[in-house]
Amino acid sequence: MEGDLAYIGAGLAGMGTGIAALGVGNVAANFLAGALRNPSAAASQTATLFIGIAFAEALGIFSFLVALLLMFAV
């Protein structure tokens, strides 16, 4: 029973990765919108784009890790 609850928890935690995907998409979409307005400044900001994506994605990876821990380690 306890193990089954852990699986449910893992599923719930896995939803976090999807929500983080929304965040990553948000970062990329806003970067694209800005880049289309001012293409000359876009090239110098790709590093910032990747840093932003990395921060947004890290939280999704955290929830993925929680899901894995619930599945395999609890």
Partner 1 sequence: MGKLFFYVALALVLVSGIIFGSPDGKLAIHPMDQFTVEPFFGGAHVGLFTVTNVTLWMALAIAAIAAILVMGTARRSIVPSRSQSVAELAYGFVYKMVEDVAGKDAVKFFPYIFTVFMFIVTSNFLGLIPMSFTTTSHFAVTGVLALVVFVAITVTGFVLHGAKFLALFWVSSAPLPLRPVLALIEVISYFVRPVSLCIRLAGNIMAGHAVLKVFAGFAGALGAASFLPIFAISAFYALEVLVAFIQAYVFTILTCVYLKDALHPSH
Partner 2 sequence: MASNSHDTSHEAGHAHDAAHGAVDAAHGAHDVAHGASGMPQLDFSTYGNQIFWLLVTLVVIFMILSRVALPRIAAILSERQGAITNDLAAAEDLKSKALEAENAYNQALADARAEAQRIAAQARAEIQADLDVAIAKADADIAAKAAESEKAIAEIQAGAVESIKLVATDTAKALVTALGGKADAKAVAAAVTAKMEG
Residues that bind partner 2 (CB under 8 A): 2-3, 6, 68-69, 71-74
Q: What is the smallest separation between the CB atom of 74 and partner 1, expressed in angstroms?
A: 15
How far is Cα 55 from Cα 67, in angstroms, rounded to an integer?
19
Q: What is the smallest separation between the CB atom of 47 and partner 1, expressed in angstroms?
A: 6
Radius of gyration of the chain (CA): 17
Which partner in partner 1, partner 2, none is near 62 (CB below 5 to 8 A by kind)?
A: partner 1
How far is Cα 29 from Cα 36, in angstroms, rounded to an integer?
11
Contacts (Cβ under 8 Å, ≥6 apart) of 7: 70, 71
How far is Cα 72 from Cα 21, in angstroms, rounded to an integer?
24
Q: Compose the 28-47 pattern: x for residues touching partner 1 by CB under 8 A, - for all others.
A: -------------------x
Q: What is the smallest separation between the CB atom of 7 and partner 2, expressed in angstroms?
A: 9
